Amino acid sequence: MHKNRIALFTLLMALLVSFPSTAKSDEEVIPYSYFTLEPEITTNFITGNQKLGFINVRINLMVDDPSLIQLLKYHQPLIRDTIIGLLSQEHMAQIQSLSGREAIRNNCLEKVNALLLAETNQKVLIDLLFTKYLYQ
C-alpha cells in the first residue's frame, strides 16, 4: 500500500513538472504608467440657481508606454484647459450622479485623446481616472 502511494505521488509530480507553465512571461505584461495633473483642478459649474457650484478633481492619465509621460508633461497646460472647459459646462445633476461622473470621465478621455491626436498624430491615453472627485 505504501509503495502504491509513492508510485502515485511520483506519477503526479512527473505530470506536473512535464507541462509547461501557462503564466504570462514578463515580456507579455503591458507596463502602464500614470501621470498626475498637478495641481488639482478646481472650477465652478452650472447649478441652475444663483449659487455657484464648485468641483475639485485630481486626474491621473494612463499610458501604455512610459516614454509618453514627457509628452503629457509638455501638453499639460492644453490638457488642463480642455478639462476645465468641459467641467465648467456640466450641470449640477450630472456632476452629482454616479452615472454622470462616469459620463464626464469618458467625455474628458475622448476630448483629451482627440486633442492629443491632433497635436501628436497618435492616440496617447489608455484611460483617464478621477482619483479625487469633490463637489459643493
What CATH number has the domain bearing residue 115? 3.30.479.30
Q: What is the extent of the structural domain holding 106?
A: 31-135
Condensed to tens digits (0 to 9), the pLDDT of residues 46-96 reads 888 878 899 999 999 999 999 999 999 999 999 999 999 999 999 999 999
In a domain, 12, yes or no: no
Please provide the average confidence, as pLDDT, over all residues in the chain: 87
In a domain, 103, yes or no: yes
In a domain, 76, yes or no: yes
- Into how many domains does the chain fold? 1
- Of 27 and 126, more confident: 126
Q: Are 63 and 126 in contact (CB under 8 A)?
A: yes
Mean pLDDT within 9-19? 55
Q: Are 34 and 62 in contact (CB under 8 A)?
A: yes
In a domain, 90, yes or no: yes
pLDDT at 30: 73
In a domain, 5, yes or no: no
- Of 74 and 10, more confident: 74
Percent of the chain with pLDDT over 90: 72
* Residue 30 phi, psi dihedral angles, 5° rounding: -85, 125
pLDDT at 53: 93
In a domain, 6, yes or no: no
Task: Provide the whole-model pTM.
Answer: 0.76
In a domain, 2, yes or no: no
Nine cell digits for residue 10: 511520483
Residue 16 has pLDDT above 80, yes or no: no
Nine cell digits for residue 47: 447649478
In a domain, 112, yes or no: yes
Q: Is 118 exposed, middle or buried (0-12, 13-18, 19+ CB in 10 A)?
A: exposed
